[in-house]
Amino acid sequence: MIASSIAFGIAFLRYFVFFIAADKKRVLISNLILLPDQIVHSWCDGDWARFAILDRVPLAAATGAILLIAYLAGRLAMERVDADNHLSRLELVVFATGVGLNLISLYTLAVGLAGGLQFRLAFIVPGITIIAAAAFHWRHRLVAFRSAKRRLFAGSLKTLRTTTNFALWMSVPFVIAIIAGALLPPWHFDTREYHSQVPKEWYQQGTATFMPHNVYGNMPLGAEMHAIVGTNLMRGEQNWWWGALIGKAIIAAYAPLTALALLAFGRRFLSPASGTIAAFVFISTPWVMHVSASGLIDGASAFYLFITFYALMIWHERLKSGEALTPDLLLAGFLAGSAVACKYPALLFVVVPGVIATACLPLGKLHVRQALTLTLAVALACGLWFGKNLVLAENPTYPLLYSVFGGETRTVAKDAQWTTAHGPPHDAAGHSYTWSFLRNSASLLLWRSEFASPLLLPLAAIGLLSRRHARLVLALAAIIAFNVLAWWLITHRIDRFLVPILPLVALLAGIGAASFGDRVWRGTITAILCLGFAFNLAFVTSPLPGDNRFLTSYESLRRDEPTDGPFSVERMHRAHKYLNASVPPGFAVMAVGEAQVFDFEMPVFYNTCFDDCVFETMMKNHTKDDRMNALREKRISHVFIFWYELERYRSPGNYGYSDYVTPELVQREFVEQGTLREIPLGLDPGNSQLFEVVGWQAWGSE
């Protein structure tokens, strides 16, 4: 055993060195570990005069309130269907919060469909009601909790002194970093395009509508709807901005919830050591920090995938004892449906395996009633999203399955564009399944992925080889293999879209780390975890994974004025800031090629690359007078054209974009004819240009 431990330690060190050397960013991080003051300085945007932390308190309090109400709502719902039996306190927190977050999301969607998104009381009164109902319902438990509190706290401290739970303490800085990053303004493309933008638009309209200009806004947005709740908790004309930050923080909260789920899973099915290490390996993976702090919803998908698996494991455990199983199936099905409410692919990756499992277990015959019970719960959790699309877009799976359902604004050409963009890449000969692509994907998954963790694969490999918990390991391996295979065969092979299986891989890592109990192995694992802790913490708190201005005041972040520091960033385009400062109330902006429009404080006409170009729709084949009348009717005073993005979309192998808008056309038909006049901002004309509509100042106020 000693020889095996030493051999694994040496093999890990070799992988660790190779892993770092495989990416320039990782080499830089290894250097920054020796200069921690530089990382800390970047948290204040390189200027301690911009330091602030108390301005986060209102947003953190609002986030905590939503999570508390989600837990209480989920707990009440679980008790109602008797799905809370045989669960530990930790399991109740995880499952109830997951259920409650989707209940709040569905309620918000229902309010939006009724046109009440700006009716503040529609959100405050139900929240207060849930708190009051929970307090009354569980009033008899408060006395027992107070008497047991001291004993519970002492027992927790005793547990946390053990060597294996050292990993639990090491998880805390990553949780803090994730929440601190989530409370920063949106900076990621997808977040500024739709994760934060769509809730903003729906709130400003007061209703959840079909979005012909933003195809992503018509897909399930279960994880994003909490931003609207947060907006209603804030006041002022810019409450949508603060609400978006609360929404990002709720999305980020799925990561620590997943870590708690791994911890609880280990205690029930494995060992406390396995669960604790799995939780640490998961939460410390840079991918988790990146998607969570960025406002991307892959962490929510990971959470619901894992706790659906968890719930089905509990169901299977109780299946053997002959107990009533309908509540367990309802819980598992609702969680699976919650995954679908976040993202369509969960139908394949979560619901289908769940239906197969419930239909086939116990082995020997087909259990139709079990599968139907699970399916019913799935429909309750996500059916409203499909119903919305059926009514508003004439396609329940919009924009998918165009050949079956059709859909508003969809055409054969648009469907082909979408399918090509989201399908496997192909080479010059049109082949997608070649050894070259396979080698590239393998290297991406094994070491080259930008936000990978050096801990994940080595420990998971040991877990695969472990003889302990063989059936569970086989089940985990099968689910992971199915996800990776489907990812390679039918998707565009972006490594971020494998984040949902990270909890399963982390669970294998926890099993591997706890495979042996002798002192030498424990020492080897402790050293490995400490190495991973140092590297990953430096990585996720540095500027390299994204915006890390954790301690910069919101006042400075709103101004977004870069400093002279080496890590200074500028979140907003210079033209966006000019427009926010210059466009008066009652006027709007048109953005061409630019879909990251979240920070625009005035109405904006835009489109994604998969939708009709708004500039082309309004301007093509029209006279100068017609164009001016159209601009005046929409109160469009300025036009921003992002040439860089247009060129990127139109490049070979990219998503594609209408070829109508070109620099030559704009100069010939709009500038020279006196419709548009360029505003001299010192922008690189090859990158972008900002125009004002000639004579817009004479239009007067509305």
Averages of pLDDT over each 10 residues, the chain, 702 residues: 86 94 88 87 91 96 98 97 93 98 98 98 97 87 52 44 73 97 97 98 98 97 98 95 98 98 96 95 97 98 98 92 84 98 97 96 90 98 98 97 96 95 90 95 93 96 91 96 96 95 98 88 93 95 91 94 78 95 96 97 97 97 96 97 97 94 97 97 94 94 58
- Which residues lie across from 677 on neighbouring strands? 692
Taking the C-alpha atoms of residue 294 and residue 547, their distance in angstroms, rounded to an integer, is 8
Question: Which DSSP string corresponds to 487-508?
Answer: HHHHS---GGGGGGGHHHHHHH
Mutual angle of helices 239-269 and 286-294, in 10-degree steps:
150
DSSP 3-state percent helix, strand, coil across the chain (nearest 5): 65, 5, 30
Rounded to 5°, the CA angle 431-437-443 comes to 175
Taking the C-alpha atoms of residue 417 and residue 414, their distance in angstroms, rounded to an integer, is 5
Taking the C-alpha atoms of residue 535 and residue 530, their distance in angstroms, rounded to an integer, is 9
Helices (H), 270-367: 272-283, 286-294, 298-319, 326-342, 346, 352-360
User: 3-state class of 641 per DSSP?
Assistant: strand
Phi-psi region of 652 (alpha: psi -120 to 50; beta: other; left: phi over 0): beta
Taking the C-alpha atoms of residue 250 and residue 513, their distance in angstroms, rounded to an integer, is 31
Residues 594 and 701 sit within 8 Å (Cβ to Cβ): no
Domain ranges across the chain: 2-46+437-541, 574-699
Question: Which DSSP string corresponds to 187-201?
Answer: -SHHIIIIITHHHHH
Tokens of 243: 């609400």
Taking the C-alpha atoms of residue 459 and residue 284, their distance in angstroms, rounded to an integer, is 14
Taking the C-alpha atoms of residue 386 and residue 384, their distance in angstroms, rounded to an integer, is 5
Taking the C-alpha atoms of residue 382 and residue 102, their distance in angstroms, rounded to an integer, is 9
CB-based contacts of 329, cutoff 8 Å, min separation 6: 315, 358, 370, 373, 374, 377
* Residue 324 confidence (pLDDT): 60
Residue 300's identity, in one-letter code, is A
Phi-psi region of 690 (alpha: psi -120 to 50; beta: other; left: phi over 0): beta
User: 3-state class of 586 per DSSP?
Assistant: coil
Taking the C-alpha atoms of residue 500 and residue 349, their distance in angstroms, rounded to an integer, is 9
Number of CB atoms found within 10 A of residue 647's CB: 14
Taking the C-alpha atoms of residue 83 and residue 91, their distance in angstroms, rounded to an integer, is 12
H or E stretch at 689: strand 689-693
Q: Order the strands of the 636-641 sheet from edge to edge.
A: 604-605, 588-592, 636-641, 689-693, 676-678
* Residue 518 confidence (pLDDT): 81
Residues 194 and 611 sit within 8 Å (Cβ to Cβ): no
Backbone phi, then psi, for 379, in 5-degree steps? -65, -40
Residues 186 and 248 sit within 8 Å (Cβ to Cβ): yes
* Residue 34 confidence (pLDDT): 84
Pairing of strands 676-678, 636-641: unpaired
Residue position matching structure tokens 């020796």: 34
Rg value, the chain, Cα = 26
* Residue 571 confidence (pLDDT): 87
Pairing of strands 604-605, 588-592: parallel
